[in-house]
Amino acid sequence: MVLCALVYSDSYQGYELSPSHPMKPARLMLTYELMRAYGLFDGGVAVIEPRAATEDELALVHDRDYIAKVRELSQPGAPAGAGAGWGLGTGDNPIFPRMHEASALIAGASITAAAWVMKESPGHAFNMAGGLHHALSNKASGFCVYNDAAIAIAWLKKHYGARALYLDFDAHHGDGVQYAFEADPDVLTVSFHESGMYLFPGTGFTNERGRGAGSGYAVNLPLPPGSADGELIEAFDALVPPLARAFRPDIIVTQDGCDAHWSDPLSHLALTLAGYRALFERQQRLAHELTGGRWLALGGGGYQAYTSVPRIWTILLEVMAGRKLDDTLPEEWRRLCARFEAGAVPRRLNEDDSPEAPVAESERVRASVRRSVDEIISGVPAELRAAL
């Protein structure tokens, strides 16, 4: 019985914001090819072709006027400046050909993955092109046109009445998903990210806790620069399992961006490949404990595109599939990677050369994270706090 699915299409390459943009679609192709070279699709992992999200599905999160504007600007000859006020036509979110079609496919892929998870028991599914968590209801933001994570959760609520636990580990705050559900007590959003004092989007502080009926159901842990495996895993263990057990989700949705890795050029965190593996293993255990294995994993950031991203997401699928891969990277993949990567191509899946932080700096970072954990505990609703 197949218990794990990868939703993938070569058409993901159409989500290219510009040839010089840091979010390179080739990272998705290289990840898929590494998974294939390892034989992950030879048994145990189903590869599923996605479909595009419909306008009604996009409208679960996005204003119809915004969707219409994205469609309009996707056509050849769209006037310059027409995206002003919509977050489009900027350095982060340039207008590109067939922008609506490429973005709707990624949103539909996350729905496809969500539907697969709900029909299988236990079911894990991964959409590596997803995790575009910054897009707002009426505005593109942070490389994201449509917010596939929020759309998939809204779809799960509509079709299954599902309570969703959303865990976001991107280096950047999962602001768009938080805002989509900040008044909804049936969605618990938890975001671990580099502090907004240092990094886009400048939000995600511990005092952001939701509003109205959802007050306390948004949890944010801003990490100081230099935060590494120890700080993140310690905070995860202190917060996530007890909150999840008290919340009792029907499905766990994770945003597993790779830009918290120490080598990423756009952030200042210091996770290693071993740290990511430990994080993925915790996600899987929690899904099996609380949701019958229902786990929807999404991609996200990751700008060391050719070496770190493919290995991190291959480790994720390895964990999801319950496989043990050889540490030596397949030579055919290394040759493919060398066509894109100007520097040295890694030889091992788990090879990592993270620089050691000074002891005093590590203690300062850990103390800061512990203070944030204490602030979070004081701000969650009583029905969740009792578990902490």
Q: Which residues are catalytic?
A: 173
As given in the structure block, the two tokens for residue 166 are 């959303």
The three state secondary structure string of the chain is CCCEEEECCHHHHHCCCCCCCCCCCHHHHHHHHHHHHCCCCCCCEEEECCCCCCHHHHCCCCCHHHHHHHHHHCCCCCCCCCCCCCCCCCCCCCCCCCHHHHHHHHHHHHHHHHHHHHHCCCCEEEECCCCCCCCECCECECCECCCHHHHHHHHHHHHHCCCEEEEECCCCCCHHHHHHCCCCCCEEEEEEEECCCCCCCCCCCCCCCCCHHHCCCEEEEEECCCCEHHHHHHHHHHHHHHHHHHHCCCEEEEECCCCCECCCCCCCCEECHHHHHHHHHHHHHHHHHHCCCCEEEECCCCCCCCCHHHHHHHHHHHHHHCCCCCCECCHHHHHHHHCCCCCCCCCECCCCCCCCCCHHHHHHHHHHHHHHHHHHHHHCCHHHHCCC
Backbone φ and ψ for 111, nearest 5 degrees, come out as -65, -45
